[in-house]
A and B are shown apart, each in its own frame.
Chain A
């Protein structure tokens, strides 16, 4: 068993990348679930998007040998940029209206 793990560790392959991305995904999920600050929630979303990108590129490299995964990852990066711009604009607006960026204190839709 231990020898198996050691030989597995010596040859980085598809499952290594999948495990790294799973850990990054879990960390991002934890950040989204626990953090009060809206900017920290945005950072958690970025971590999750990066984890998804690692998965796309890993399968593109090891399982399909086509560049479709690269294209999807490129679109993920594009949409992440748009999402962060919109998200930060909304957060700035919330801070102007409520004087806080904590998502648990923002409980009114109307001013």
Chain B
């Protein structure tokens, strides 16, 4: 890991970094919204691989399950439901590009500069790397019990609320038409 020559660890690290960044660029700059949605899949996959590099095995699997399996499917549903499929052009316009480039480049450049120049406190890596899932489960049921329960409530309320929001307007429209 700390040898002078470039080893497999480093090469794979840059491979996953390039997957993440290139597909994120495709997400952002592609004109075709379906292409953006599928590029987002590779971004999530690359980020999950970076999680593995950060010794976060449980979070990597969760990322794959929730983001790739859940959120991405939801987004694809959204793309299909909100665009008329008869028209082939499922494209998105852009607006005020120049101020956005300036703002994003300024904020991103500032963050990169801080990350590059700041002497971060780095503890020496412990020799044994343990799996994180048992400890995360223990923390969730002891220290973080209240946020854990609140999160379950939030998820249930959000999902029921999403169903209510997505269906209510249709009924309301029919009733206003009837009256």
Contacts and interface: CB of A to CB of B under 8 A. Distances in A.
Contacts of B139: 67-68, 71
A: contact size bracket: 35 or more
Contacts of A68: 139
Contact of A27 (B27, B53, B81): B27
Interface string A20-60: 10111111111101111111101110110010011001101
Interface string B81-103: 11100000000111111011101
Given A57-B54, A63-B120, A70 B132 contact: yes
Contacts, number: 244
A106 interface: no
B93 A36 contact: yes
Contact of A34 (B50, B83, B95, B173): B95
Contacts of A16: 13, 17
B: contact size bracket: 35 or more
Nearest to A61: B54
Interface of A: 10-20, 22-31, 33-40, 42-44, 46-47, 50, 53-54, 57-58, 60-65, 67-68, 70-71, 73-75, 77-86, 88-93, 95-97, 101-102, 104
Given A27-B27, A28-B28, A57-B51, 19 more contacts: A17-B54, A20-B20, A24-B20, A26-B107, A27-B25, A30-B101, A33-B100, A35-B92, A39-B79, A40-B92, A58-B54, A67-B136, A70-B56, A70-B59, A77-B63, A86-B161, A86-B162, A89-B165, A96-B170
